[in-house]
Amino acid sequence: MITEQLNFSGRVAIVTGGGTGIGYATALQLARLGAYVVVASRTADELEKAAAAIAQESGGKCIAVPTDVKNEQSCINLVQKTMDTFGKIDILINNAGGTRMGPLENIPTRGWDSIYDLNVKSAYICTREAGKHMIAQKSGAIVNISSTSGIGGVKGGAHYASAKAALQMFTTVTAAEWGRFNIRANCVASGMIASPRAAAAWDAAGLDQAEMGANIPLRRPGTPDEIANMIVFFASDAASYITGQTIAVHGGPSLGGIKLD
């Protein structure tokens, strides 16, 4: 039975990067819990298939809006299309993100800017545009998807780690400024997640998931659904007094010290 606090019936949610991985898992969970869902990503064919699958599996309504979140007008169009279709926006999941790793001395300015545009600027624009409607209705929930790289850093990802750290601070300030409008903003810092694309990339590179998870206390990478669980909680009424927080979903802390069996 769906508890009242996890009942999203009649609510409208936008999920960027909603065609695959964590975004898809989140959109599907929200739709199953009664939300009307708008999924956005660049690849139109893939996105349409994802929206159709979500609608079929959930029995709810899910529409695809092809969107390049690095393009300001595209983000504005996403929000406007959602308003034109549903008349309101209750939930925004800023999930789109990613990186290409490389040593700091080799990162070109264009590459640095591209990672910031994808991971920070996109969330700012979508938040600003959706926020106009949330402020008018005096309610809303925003969840930004960061990475544990934004907490502890990662060698080879100076641009990515700093962008994700910026996203976490953007979450804090959004929550502080917009709490007076009954808008909550929280952030999920994702650890190593075996999404279909990530798993395929690991396999292609000859990487073993068991070995990759050896330093994680739970001894494995996570799944998209395990991140989606936290995202959905933050978006729900069960988190009605939680805002401005970043929580790491990463299988536990990796610590130095003595070797344990």
Q: Which residues does residue 37 pair with via DSSP β-bridges, in sequence order?
A: 13, 62
Structure tokens at 129: 């545009």
Going edge to edge, which strands form the sheet with 183-190? Answer: 62-64, 36-40, 12-16, 91-94, 140-147, 183-190, 246-249
The boundaries of the domain holding residue 22 are 7-195+224-248
Assigned domain for 138 exists: yes
Assigned domain for 218 exists: no
pLDDT of the chain, 261 residues: tens digit per residue:
457 899 999 999 999 999 999 999 999 999 999 999 999 999 999 999 999 999 999 999 999 999 999 999 999 999 999 999 999 999 999 999 998 889 999 999 999 999 999 999 999 999 999 999 999 999 999 999 999 999 999 999 999 999 999 999 999 999 999 999 999 999 999 998 888 877 776 677 677 777 777 888 888 899 999 999 999 999 999 999 999 999 999 999 887 788 776
Element (H, E) at 140: strand 140-147
Assigned domain for 52 exists: yes
SS3 sequence, 84-113? HHHCCCCEEEECCCCCCCCCHHHCCHHHHH
Assigned domain for 27 exists: yes
Number of independent structural domains in the chain:
1
Prediction pTM value: 0.94
pLDDT at 1: 47
CATH number for the domain including 130?
3.40.50.720
Assigned domain for 219 exists: no
Q: Which residues are catalytic?
A: 160
Nearest Cα to Cα of residue 112 among 125, 123, 100, 122:
100
Assigned domain for 253 exists: no
Assigned domain for 106 exists: yes
Assigned domain for 130 exists: yes
β-bridge pairing 91-94 and 12-16? parallel
pLDDT at 42: 94
Nearest Cα to Cα of residue 144 among 178, 176, 188:
188
Nearest Cα to Cα of residue 186 among 148, 150, 146:
146
